[in-house]
A and B are shown apart, each in its own frame.
Chain A
């Protein structure tokens, strides 16, 4: 009796917790509302199954609890019942998987007009690189990393000369324009994670990974690292600022290019050599 009651209370309590708790996801700031929709569908289906199974169990515990003289039924199996349950379960699973795979297809199909930007991780800070006037990022290599060239941009690649390098500063993005984020790591695994954008992806040294999204809200968003990267993991923070297109252009004009940075670094290095 008490056991059956507790089982019912667990179901009721869990549902109430879900509906009333203040802990829910952040307001979305990207195009990935589809992900939220799929997640909500999954909540409905799984919530229903959870309630159904546990309430049925509670009923059994109440109705068939041991009493004097009671005997259990002898019922080895029922192919019909098992067959039906298998089919219904398969349908439920398909109802979650199908929208999931459709949305995944969108997730990995980068629109042709997406701007490529680069996010570079290292213990424990974020750096960014934007293509210059030519719209292309220059090649890069961890073996070319030096104190003057912290992101390992290839100085011999002309496409890289006009790239905008943001070392330790904020990343700005224009609202409403799709971005393909190329991810690269100098040292260990990291993960570029902005909860409001929903999308995230690991940075893997030795390869370039990517994901895409379209910022849909202007504002300031915090970047976290979501893949354990050593003792500074939780303090590896950055900032993404989504601007209106005009503000974005104004900001972009003020940023130095890779060529300018290199020249400046060489000049200051030359200064140090002079007595």
Chain B
């Protein structure tokens, strides 16, 4: 047993740099609209992400209606179906999850958790949100453009993405999609630099890196990764725009489109796939690492026990982040790339399972001998572990090159990535909202609606995606608007598809209850007080709830301990806030 809390309170050095005067808003506009307060920007990010996420939810209903009942809806043409899946995927991965975790939770929690007054570059932070909003609007515009949005699949593989056989390929759809992504990346870079610099430079006195809550470690590492990964997508988007608009041939070899020789020569479709997945695989962890961090803090707080193996958790986050840059081609085992790459990428991919498994062990070991309060955040955290373990393990099928061959491009893949990077992180988003809503609004979310939302979402999502793996095992390909008469597909597959569709509609309905709860509780929720969960980290120790601009009143907090001093033997209560100087030895626990 090793004690990693500091032995005694060292003298906390005086601040090296004087505090910088904050920009104080002078009007309603600069307080709520063109705001430079990270907390307002966070809420702007979160509301925009949830709004566009609602569009993605409706699209998923439409696609499930088509898959479950292929003959019933004549308005869902193959063109429309492909547009639905493309926009659903892109919105969920980029415009909802990335924006919500980093722009939403990052903005709200980083300054509060590290003990800063705001992000270090508040003006750039504001620009980041407005460019993100512009990116979302450009994306929405494509629904109304001639030819509709692109239907190239969220991976946007050329050549089909820019040819006429794909919806939006020769119309506005693909152009608006690529433009929107370029805008998103510009906006994200502004925010991302802010998050990284704030974590590195904006921490209050006593807040060493190894005293940061894991939420900050997750968001910080994910942001560093995003800053390194998004440029690959950026150049890929620019190059494809050139191919489409200027007739260059970055990704376009000599092809014959519907009997017509095109002028392109010598480009490489595989180059796009490498660029896309060099971004795309880290993207999985850009979504997952903030979820890992947040769920660690939820479990620790609600089990009243320190997170087990904090240092190992930090190194696992950093290790996963680094490794995830050398696994990208496991998305390309059957792409026609040099087959010898398979050995390398299968090995790196399966190695990443080790630090990931350590994280799972440490979560469940935190529960061991805990004092588990089955609050809504804890329930969502438990549900996260179930779905993440399930989805993570099926990743071992797809990562192990030869096992991937029969399963690649089937519904098994769809089931896997939805479970591991769709359902699991979104369950954390919900848990996090139930956890931090009292800090943001001063009121608790309604418990009854919350319980209903939890059980329907968790069990419903499992009922959707667990059986879906078996469709892939049968051999059902993904991205088929209907299966038609296919010899090897038995009728029972259609029954299962209908079942999954009904489950999806029910889960979708439960999200309406959640949205209603979010709005209803602002006025009618129970008063929360400043620290309803009796948590240790700094955001719960603010002088005001909700925290005001500048967060801390006159004096910045000083940090004396890590964020996990729960149930310390001999302490007067079962938690010691990070800014509590404590009573020497007893408070330090087992030193």
Contact = CB atoms under 8 A, between A and B. Distances in A.
Interface of A: 3, 6-7, 10, 14, 17, 21-26, 32, 34-35, 38-39, 42, 45-46, 49-50, 53-54, 56-57, 60-61, 64-66, 70-79, 81-82, 85-86, 89-90, 93, 96-97, 100-101, 103-105, 107-108, 122-124, 141-143, 145, 147, 152, 183, 185-189, 191, 193, 195-196, 198-207, 209, 220-222, 224-235
Given A25-B473, A38-B403, A231 B389 contact: no
Given A60-B370, A222-B488, A3 B2 contact: no
B255 A77 contact: no
A193 B268 CA distance: 23
Nearest to A143: B254
B492 A77 contact: no
Interface in B307-323: 308-312
B467 A21 contact: yes
A126 to B, nearest CB: 15
B368 interface: yes
Nearest to A188: B160
A46 B335 CA distance: 26
Contacts of B65: none
B115 to A, nearest CB: 22
A11 B546 CA distance: 41
Given A123-B258, A200-B409, A224-B486, A229 B358 contact: no
Contact of B367 (A64, A101, A189): A64
B312 to A, nearest CB: 5
Nearest to A21: B470
A50 to B, nearest CB: 6
A23 B471 contact: yes
A77 B310 contact: yes
A193 B488 CA distance: 12
B492 A22 contact: yes
A75 to B, nearest CB: 7
Contact of B389 (A50, A90, A107, A152): A50
Contacts of A103: 402
Interface string B256-293: 11110100001111100000000000000000000000
B310 A76 contact: yes
A53 B78 contact: no
Interface of B: 1-5, 78-79, 82, 151-153, 155, 157, 159-160, 163, 165-167, 169, 253-259, 261, 266-270, 303-306, 308-312, 334-336, 339-340, 342-343, 346-347, 350-351, 353-354, 357-358, 360-362, 364-365, 367-374, 379, 382, 385-386, 389-390, 393-394, 396-397, 400-403, 405-410, 459, 462, 466-467, 470-471, 473-475, 477, 479-484, 486-488, 490, 492-493, 496, 564, 566-569, 574, 589-590
A256 B306 CA distance: 76
Contact of B403 (A21, A42, A71, A193): A42
Contacts of A143: 254, 261
A177 B165 CA distance: 37
A206 B361 contact: no
A75 B82 contact: no
Contacts of A46: 393-394, 396-397
B329 to A, nearest CB: 13
A143 B261 CA distance: 7
B203 to A, nearest CB: 21
Given A201-B334, A231-B165, A101 B256 contact: no
A204 B336 contact: yes
Given A38-B400, A100-B403, A10 B354 contact: no
Given A76-B4, A78-B1, A204-B335, A234 B402 contact: no
B372 A142 contact: no
Contacts of B462: 10
Given A206-B269, A226-B410, A191 B402 contact: no
18 contacts: A23-B471, A25-B475, A26-B474, A39-B403, A45-B396, A49-B393, A54-B385, A54-B389, A73-B370, A74-B568, A82-B362, A123-B258, A142-B255, A147-B259, A187-B257, A193-B477, A206-B269, A230-B165
B157 A228 contact: yes
B567 A74 contact: yes
Contacts of A26: 474-475, 488
Given A100-B403, A189-B269, A53 B408 contact: no
Given A17-B466, A75-B369, A191 B397 contact: no
B372 A66 contact: yes
A81 B484 contact: no
Given A53-B360, A93-B354, A204-B270, A191 B309 contact: no
A102 B254 CA distance: 37
